[in-house]
Amino acid sequence: MNANKVLIALCLLGSWMEPAASDMLDDPLLAQPVQLQEGATLPDSSRIDCASAVDFSHPLALTDAVDTALCNNPQIRATWAEIKMQSGVVGEARAAYLPTINGSVSRLKDTTTYSSGARQPSSTSIGNQYYGSLNWRLFDFGGRSANREAANEMLLAALAGHDAALQKTMASVIQSWFEAMTSQAVMDARQHIAQLAMQTLSVAQRRETKGATTQDDTLQAATALAKAQLNAIHARGDYQKNLALLKQAMGIDLTTDIHLPAQPEQVNPSDIHDLNQWLKQAESRHPAIAQARAKWQADKDKIIQVRSDGLPTLDMTAHISRNGFPNQGLSSLNQTDKDIGLTVSVPLFDGFSRHYKIQEAQAQAEQSEAQLEDTTAHILTDVVKAWADAKTALSVLSVSQQLLDAAQASVNSSRRRYDKNVADILEVLNAQSALADAQQQRIQAIAEWQSARLSLLANTGILGQLSATAQTRSQDIP
């Protein structure tokens, strides 16, 4: 095959591969991480389900709320796009190790015209001009290697940033879901107390009609009923507000009608384990720490890259041309030129620009290191706080049940005594007030335990759908 056919084949190959690259060579250098191929996963290996629609006519399960929020959150989509962008940077860094080949084919018409005094006839020639070139960097003192490593670290940082966005979104929607469910339980409890107050008022009115008591008992019972109804109205308002916050966290229309399951009356708390275990897991698994660590490593690689830019490079070049060179006229002879060689480029002086670029890169690495230390300290502090809150909530949980049982028994006893005319209305009302407080304490204790446990998982960076679901089902979370 002669030179003309080789050049034509190169040009045709390039024109054919350009439209087909997206189909056949979408990732020829294997720069995309597996997450882009298989989809993102949570720390418990569960996947985000955006395909199936949530039926809001049924009570909203926590997993459905989480899936909806993860599919609708714009920050998650932005971090996913960041992964794609950094994958492209990795591909560019890997492409620097490969040669670049260019080819061109030109159809030229060359016309030469002489002045009238030269007595030379004008001439015109038409022909094809072919040109091909190859450039390949062979050695550069580690610049490409450092650039590749920096790109890899930034890709890891992008992946960790996406995981951090997932964790943040999950923690937000889970917290909103529990707050809405807790406010619903408070509303139900307040309505129950209002019903008890109404029953007490009915008994007092009946006793007053029979002459067994005075009007004072009826007035006090009516006052207690009004107060209970007022508390029930406030509780309903809080529930509607928390429900709106949940819809906002899920990224759905605020006019969507959703229902929540009832708060469990009994929970089986799991062991919190030792604090040092949580701290070690947070330091090794939290995506925000991993992101800061990858950013620091990438900035350190950047120093090597900047330094190598001021060192010599070795390149191989090769050219082949037929009937002249590009942007020139046709050769008078039907000739072919070929050349191949090695080029050593030695930077001699750049006005001290490289010196200051190195200082800038070093300062950037120092800043990233400080950011890593600050991020780690902040997250570990949050883990300690969440662990302490979980410990406290675990202790309160059992006592709140004892308080509720005692208050319920006191109400039943005082109502029986009042019916038998051996207790006054104040005893009944005080017992009902104590029951309302006990119910509030119990609901709050359950909510604080669930919130503290999940907050501990979120601050450690291991929060997933399975752990959240297990918490709602009162199962042990390993």
pLDDT digits (tens, 9 = 90+) for 20-62: 445 456 889 889 898 888 887 877 677 777 767 788 889 998 8
What is the pLDDT averaged over residues 411-429? 82
Over range 451-477, report the average pLDDT: 67
pLDDT of residue 117: 65
Residue identified by tokens 């045709």 is 12
Residue 133 three-state SS: strand
Q: What letter does residue 333 receive in the DSSP assignment?
A: S
pLDDT band at 335 (very low <50, low <70, confident <90, very high): confident
Strand-strand pairing, 100-112 and 336-345? unpaired
pLDDT, position 75: 93
Give the DSSP H/E element, type plus range, for residue 371.
helix 353-419
- State the number of CA atoms in the 13 A half-sphere of 63 facing the CB: 16
Whole-angstrom distance, CA of residue 393 vs CA of residue 447: 9
Average pLDDT, the chain: 84
Strand arrangement of the beta sheet that strand 100-112 belongs to: 100-112, 123-139, 313-322, 336-345
Q: What is the pLDDT of residues 174-214, one digit of tens each?
A: 889 988 988 998 899 889 889 988 988 888 888 788 777 77
Against a cut of 0.85, is the pTM above it? no
With 0-12 / 13-18 / 19 or more C-beta atoms within 10 angstroms meaning exposed / middle / buried, residue 231 is buried
Query: Under CATH, what is the fold of the domain 142-311+354-478?
Result: Outer membrane efflux proteins (OEP) (1.20.1600)
> What does the alpha-carbon distance between residue 417 and residue 413 come to, in Å, rounded to a whole number?
6
